[in-house]
Structure formats: structure tokens, C-alpha cells
Structure 1
Amino acid sequence: MSLHDEIREQQKKLKGQGFKAKLEYFWEYYKIHTIVIICAVALLSMLIHDIRSNKPYGFYAVMINSGASSAQEELEYGFAPYAGIDTSKYSCFIDTAESYDLQVITETTIATSQKIMANVAGGDLDVLAADSNIFTYYANQEVFADLRTVLSKEQIEKYQDLFIYVDQSYLDYLNSEEYQAYISTGEFDKNNKYAVIADNYNKDLTFPPTDPSDMENPIPVGIKLDNSAILKKTGAYSGYSSAAGVIINSSRKDLAVKYIEYLLK
């Protein structure tokens, strides 16, 4: 049986189980395959970067599920001079080719996730953009900076109607011992709204609410890109709602903000 057929067979067995259960099962069952894929993707990424420039990053953004891999060159060539990046010394890398599907767990899904999280952990990534569902997924992984800490007062006033929020109280629940007990037992307090939200997400990928009026402690972490003339011109996210956020540990947050500003000018 081919690996593809094995994956399809195991997906049938896992139907109806939560996403986290699927991910954990897949990682255990295809651990070797996944490690090989992750290593291959990492090596390929490094090779592409070396071939492209052999320069340190001056700026690095990933735009997941853009549906327009050809947009990369236009965005890079447009943003570098806008931001004043000296491309003779530094690389301006805007990756529009990554795809990620939470509904289908494959080696590619895990490899993409591992690649992104490795770049976040390594401090290389400055901006992550994605369709609304994937953006919400990463927002609840706590990879984005609070926009109130990186935007000026004028920028906050300008973009606040476009903000996407996460509820810090929900994130606190995800980091609690109560949630860890739920992961182990499947039991939760049905009177705890955050426990209910987490259970709904794990069962059928029902995403947490993003309306700040429904939150106890709303934190702005993303800016909607739906009205971006540049993205419309390149065909990126055509027919989809999208958003971008500043990576929490980016050392180039000023350029990250400038890139979002560039997309919305």
C-alpha cells in the first residue's frame, strides 16, 4: 500500500475525532516520514535562500494559502524600495507559496507547520499572513505581537476598524492545568465558556469568536487585508478574507509594520 493510500485509510479511522487527536495520532504513526519531509523542506528552504542571495534576511514574511505563488516577485520588488531595504546586502523574502489545510492532516501539513514554527522560534520571521481561519489558528498559538505595542497612536486610529482580536482569557485557559486535564481525559466543565470553545474547536474546528465584544480580554493581533489593492492586483487571497500580524519575537517589527502598511496603502 502506498503512503497516500495509508493516509487515506487512517483518516477514515480517525473520522469524528478532534483535530488534536488526529495530529497526535498522525505524528506517532508517520513520525519517520514526517521527520524526513521536515528535514527535506528545511534543507530546500536553506538552499533556495542561499541560491537567491546568500545574504542575511533584511525582511521575511510568509503568506499562507495566498493562492498566488507568482505574487512573490512583485511583492518583493515593490516592498524592498518602499521599506528602504538594501537588497545588495540583505534579502527581502516574501514567501507566497506555502499552503496549510487544517482539515487534511498530511506530511505537507505537518512540514509546513514545523517550518513556520521553526522560523518563528529562530526569530527569522517578521510577518505571517493567511486566510482568516488559518490566521485565527496561529493567533491562538500566541505567535503574534499585541498591535498596541508596535503601532503608533496614529496607526492604531487608522487601522483599528480592521483589527482582529484574540481573547487573552481563552489563551490563559489553553495554558492552564485544567485544559491539560481535558486533553488527557476529554472531560471539561460545561459551565466554563472557554472549555466549551476549546472542546468545539477540537471536535470540529469551530474557531473561537473574533468579535472583541464577545471577549473578556481582547488583544488586537491582526489587521484585515481584504481591501488591499496590491493583493487584489496580484490575485492573492482572491475570494477569501485574509489578515496579517507581526510575529511576537521579530527583531524587525518596524519593517513588519511597514509591510502591512505597504499592503494597505
Structure 2
Amino acid sequence: MTKEQFKKKLSNFWYYYKIHTIVAVFAIICVAFMVKQCAERIEPDMEIIMVTDSVTLSEDKVTDIENMLSKYTDDLNRDGRKFVRCDYINMNQKQDAQVLYALQTKLMAEIAGSDTALFITDDTFLKRFQEQGMFLDLKDVGLSGQYGVKLSKLPDFKIQDMPTGFYDLNLSIRAFNGTSLDREDASDSYKNSVKMLKALLKNGGIIK
């Protein structure tokens, strides 16, 4: 085949199959991107929920919290990595009403459909959840009658450039079918959360 014949065939192919070729290339790029994302995705060993209407955090600061907490988790999924995911839900009332409704729905779904035990909340949500009986009385760690510990008392949360009000947030643990932190029949996930809570409290000198 001569060079001119090759160019003619190529021109004919492009004329008849241009759209097909573009679609095929686009599909290949999309599949490659999805495969790359799946390969890089890290499944968390545990999750915590942070919900506030008084403090707004950037994505970078949420990542800083995740990195700090990841030091205290066990490798529950046995993938050789330790990772805690922080599900941050910003319920600032200045947002659009439809956005707030969507976030409220997400929060309710997270609470109802997950075994997440550790929560970071502002005083508004701490009181709301406490009234619903959602949080455990911290009497087992010498904090009888308290349902949350201020982050200001936990040195591990001394993260640089946090927004105003961050250290007034509270760390709480959910009550699952019982009133004790050290239930023998608790799930591995819950035991891992208790272990993390105690490590943070110990570093703050609250327990020995």
C-alpha cells in the first residue's frame, strides 16, 4: 500500500467513523479514570461523624483531623493501612433551606444506617442528641453526668490554624444497647472506638 493509498483509507475511515472513534476514546478515558479512583480509594477502618452549625471547616482541616485520629485506630479491614474517615456535616443555618434539608436527611441516614460510635458536635447538637438518649454518660471514665468532652481538653486536637470555636466542640460516644463502655458483647468497631476515646482522654490527663 502506497503512502497516498494509506492516507485515503485513513481519511475515509475518519469520515465514516469519526463519531464512533471519539465516543470510544472518551469511554476508554472514563473507564481508566474510574479504575484509577477505585485503586486509590482507601476504605476506612472506622468513621466518625462531625456535625455543627457554629463552626465551618475546610476540607484540608477535616483531613488533618482524619490523619490525627488514624494513629489510634486498629487495622480492622486488614488492608495494611490505618485510616479514619471524618464525615463532616456543616449544618450552618445561613445556608440555603434546600441544602439544609438535604444535609439533615443525610445526617439522619448516617445515624440510622451506620455503626459509627464517635461524634464531634457543637453544644447545640450535643444537647439535641443527648435529649434523644443517643450519647453515653461518660461515668466509666470518671466523668459522671457528662456526655461530651471539650476538644480544648484533648491535646491531640491542637491542630494548627483551626477556626474560631473549634476547641469548644465536644467529643462523644454513642450508646448502643447498653450503658457501659466496656461491654464484652460489643462489636469490634465499637471496641475500637472506645479504645480511641480512652487514648485521647489519657493523653489529655483525664484518665490514667
Scaled by the length of structure 2, the TM-score of the pair is 0.56
Q: CA deviation at 1:105?
A: 7.5
Q: CA deviation at 1:143?
A: 2.1
Is 1:124–2:111 an aligned residue pair?
no
Q: How many residues align?
A: 150
Tell me how far apart the structure 2 counterparts of residues 141 and 110 of structure 1 sit (CA, whole Å). Answer: 20
Indicate the residue corresponding to 1:192 in structure 2. none
Superposition map of 1:1-265 within 5 A? 53=41, 55=43, 57-65=44-52, 66-69=55-58, 70-85=60-75, 86=78, 88=80, 92-96=84-88, 98-101=89-92, 106-148=97-139, 151=140, 156-157=141-142, 160=143, 165=145, 220-236=146-162, 238-239=164-165, 241-249=168-176, 251=187, 252-264=189-201, 265=203
Q: CA deviation at 1:125?
A: 1.8
Listed one character per residue, the Cα deviations across residues 90-123 of structure 1 (whole Å, up to 9, x for unaligned) are 7521134x21135877222222222122122113
Aligned CA RMSD, in angstroms, stands at 3.3
- Please tell me whether Structure 1 or Structure 2 has the larger radius of gyration of its CA atoms: 2
Could you tell me the percent identity over the aligned residues? 18
Tell me how far apart the structure 1 counterparts of residues 150 and 160 of structure 2 sit (CA, whole Å). Answer: 17
Q: Residue 68 of structure 1 contacts residue 235 of structure 1 at CA under 8 Å; is this kept in 2?
A: no
Indicate the residue corresponding to 2:4 in structure 1. none
Indicate the residue corresponding to 2:20 in structure 1. none
Aligned partner of 1:67: which letter? T
Tell me how far apart the structure 2 counterparts of residues 139 and 52 of structure 1 sit (CA, whole Å). Answer: 38
Aligned partner of 2:104: which letter? S
Tell me how far apart the structure 2 counterparts of residues 255 and 92 of structure 1 sit (CA, whole Å). Answer: 11
Tell me how far apart the structure 2 counterparts of residues 261 and 225 of structure 1 sit (CA, whole Å). Answer: 14
Q: Structure 1 stretches of 5 or more lacking a match? A: 1-48, 166-219
Tell me how far apart the structure 1 counterparts of residues 51 and 160 of structure 2 sit (CA, whole Å). Answer: 15
CA separation of 1:103 and 1:139: change in aligned 2, threshold 3 A: farther
Listed one character per residue, the Cα deviations across residues 205-264 of structure 1 (whole Å, up to 9, x for unaligned) are xxxxxxxxxxxxxxx422222223333324446335211211223842322233334544
Tell me how far apart the structure 1 counterparts of residues 200 and 159 of structure 2 sit (CA, whole Å). Answer: 11
CA separation of 1:224 and 1:116: change in aligned 2, threshold 3 A: same
Scaled by the length of structure 1, the TM-score of the pair is 0.46
Structure number with the bigger relative contact order (C-alpha 8 A, sep ≥ 6) is 1
Q: Residue 126 of structure 1 contacts residue 247 of structure 1 at CA under 8 Å; is this kept in 2?
A: yes
Q: Residue 144 of structure 1 contacts residue 248 of structure 1 at CA under 8 Å; is this kept in 2?
A: yes
